[in-house]
Amino acid sequence: MVTTYLVMLTAIVFLPVLGAVLVLCVPREKEDVARYITLGATAGVLTLSLLAFLTPLGGSFDYQGEAAAHMQYVFNVPWIPSFGIEYFMGADGISMPLVMLTALICLLAAGASWSVTKHVKAYCVLFLLLETGMLGVFLALDFFLFYVFWEVMLLPMYFLIGVWGGPRREYAAIKFFLYTLVGSVLMLVAILMLYFASDLTDPALRPHLGQCGLTAAVHARAEAGMDERLAGRAVAPLHTFNLLALAQVGQRTEQFGENLQWWSFLLLFIGFIIKVPSVPLHTWLPDAHVEAPTPISMILAGVLLKMGGYGIIRICYPICPHGGYDLAYFVCLLGVVSMVYGAFAALAQKDFKRLVAYSSVSHMGYVVLGLGVWSATSGTAFNPDYWNMGVQGAMFQMIAHGISSAGMFFLVGVIYDRVHHRDLDAFGGLFARMPVYTALSIGIFFAGLGLPGLCGFIGEVLVVLSVWNYSYVLAVISAAVVILTAAYILWTVQRVYLGAEYKGPHGEALLPTTRRENAIAGVLFTLAILFGVFPNTFLLRYMDKTVSRQVSDLAQWTKLVKEAVPHTGAGEALAETQTQIPSLAKGGFDIARTQAP
């Protein structure tokens, strides 16, 4: 059955592929035509996303009612039925903002791609395939499909850095590829571990099958298997790659033992923090950023790093809560170390682009810290409020960093295209020569600094406040990082824009920015202001109910399973979980919306 949701989300994900096919049909010498097709495809994705999620034309994405807490726009079609692999997609308050961010950054990066003059046709094809991979990651609800999109993203980025990058582009591309490939292999091992340990015929899942988005056929097989097991007959296990079903298995049954969850969480977490990236698995990022062309640096910082944070919140914690609980302090400590290390490393840089790259390591540390603040324990009477604040702060920080970091890399690229160097000590006095560029630069760099009234402030404050109830030491250190951030941002602004005079080569090329450049930077600066002044209107209200439900479910799981009172057995605790955690039947989706032919 072809549904509105299937057509809508499929169009959003695969429109760039259609654009890539059209680019392939363009004669090689028609470079501007290829550029405009790429720009049109990315604009089409953003338009479709706006229509789908922010207007009634897409089915009215609910961010206020009961459905707002659950997965929406769900469709499920069998893809490889013999292994339970499905073409299964949907969106909620976690994935929707990231889809919108991806569509926006790709459109702006396409506008910034006019500076690319080598092999333009091939560049445009790879650029569009990269966008499809990123969009698919944020919308896929089948673990196998998620992994396919994750890998689809890898090869285009490798070639975009390796062919169109700077002098050390081959080294940077291979380093990026190897790091990401190692993470992918670890992720694949965890996927297989969870798949073969899962069984949808477990009777404990019966109250929760409606929350899994199963096709009618799989739902019927699961219920029939449950009936057979309750009758005492042997039943072959019904394995699944369904992310929603795996989350129910991890929290509602004993199928995934503590050891399995612990190791699965660790393997998945390593795979995802390579992408974030966190110390000590961050070393590929500065090299990739420095060598990548400006539009690819924008996508790398604005979107690709968010895929790691998304994987942690979407997969690690819901499916492997035992691992998340046991490793909570380790996750938080890793986030704080990344924040401090990235800030000090940025202070030590003399390469403008490398400084911005290390600032990304520091800022993404807030994301890891906010996600790891598992403060809903017996010591706080299982109150999920602070953890909820941390996760929402981490989500806000991902979007805010996507805006500010993409802007910073674009602005570095603008000046590099003119003077062909990034030596901070050779800059100075740009304000007098390029006043509009300087104004936009200072505004976007201050957004990265976390200045109140700009987008970077909200996420950082929410994360720091959430940590105070978890660890005073980590809270104090994370708050102090703001001082380090201000130090390297203000020092950069002083050296580049406010110095006495420009001391580097090609001073005659320091001409005012073009309308195209001003438009790209202006959009990002405007969004930085809007997100900073109206955080609830433009972002928090969309993610609030989804994040709150996930955190509340895990807090309830902590109370009834992980920290259950001694006289309560695991089976009793799980049974109590089934009765106390409300069903999702009234919100989100039901089986009728996900039936397949």
Tokens describing residue 576: 């109590």
- 520: helix, strand or coil: helix
DSSP per-residue string spanning 554-596:
HHHHIIIIIT--TTS-HHHHHHHHHHHSPPSTTSS--GGGG--
**Tens place of pLDDT per residue across the chain (597 aa):** 568 889 999 999 999 999 999 999 999 888 899 999 999 999 999 999 999 998 877 667 888 888 888 898 999 999 998 898 999 999 999 999 999 999 999 999 999 999 888 899 999 999 999 999 999 999 999 999 999 999 999 999 999 999 998 889 999 999 999 999 999 999 999 999 999 999 999 999 998 888 888 888 999 999 999 999 998 888 889 999 999 999 999 999 889 989 999 999 999 999 999 999 999 999 999 999 999 999 999 999 999 999 999 999 999 999 999 999 999 999 999 999 999 999 999 999 999 999 999 999 999 999 999 999 998 888 888 889 999 999 999 999 999 999 999 999 999 999 999 998 888 888 988 898 899 999 999 999 999 999 999 999 999 999 999 998 888 999 999 999 999 999 999 999 998 998 778 888 888 888 888 999 999 999 999 999 999 999 999 999 999 999 999 999 999 999 988 887 655 444 544 544 444 444 333 334 443 334 443
Q: Is 429 in contact with 501 (CB distance < 8 Å)?
A: yes
Tokens describing residue 67: 């459905």
pLDDT value, residue 568: 45
Where would I find the H helices in 350-434? 352-372, 385-419, 430-433
Q: How far is the C-alpha of 448 from the C-alpha of 442, rounded, in Å?
A: 10
85 membership: H or E segment, kind and range:
strand 85-91
DSSP per-residue string spanning 287-340:
HHHHHS-HHHHHHIIIIIHHHHHHHIIIIIHHH-HHHHHHTHHHHHHHHHHHHH
- 249: helix, strand or coil: helix
pLDDT value, residue 173: 93
Considering only CA atoms, which of 501, 495, 507, 517 is closest in space to residue 411? 517
Tokens describing residue 275: 């992408």
DSSP 582: P
- Count CB atoms within 10 A of the CB of residue 534: 11
Between the CA atoms of 243, 247, 253 and 254, what dihedral angle is there, to the nearest 10 degrees? 90
DSSP per-residue string spanning 173-223:
HHHHHHHHHHHHHHHHHHHHHHHHH--TT-GGGGGGGGGTT--HHHHHHHH
534-540-542 Cα angle (round to 5): 120
Q: Is 66 in contact with 586 (CB distance < 8 Å)?
A: yes
Q: Is 74 in contact with 2 (CB distance < 8 Å)?
A: no
Cα–Cα distances (Å) from 261 to 253, 254, 373, in that order, read 12, 11, 18
230 CB-near residues (< 8 Å, 6+ apart): 203
Residue type, 309: G
Kindly tell me the number of DSSP H helices and DSSP E strands found in the chain: 25, 2
Considering only CA atoms, which of 88, 56, 58, 59 is closest in space to residue 74? 88
pLDDT value, residue 58: 63
Considering only CA atoms, which of 447, 517, 520, 528 is closest in space to residue 489? 447
77 membership: H or E segment, kind and range:
strand 72-80
How many Å from the N-terminal Cα to the C-terminal Cα in the chain? 5
- 87: helix, strand or coil: strand
86: β partners: 78
pLDDT value, residue 57: 73
Considering only CA atoms, which of 480, 479, 502 is closest in space to residue 431? 502
pLDDT value, residue 592: 36
Q: How many residues does the chain have?
A: 597
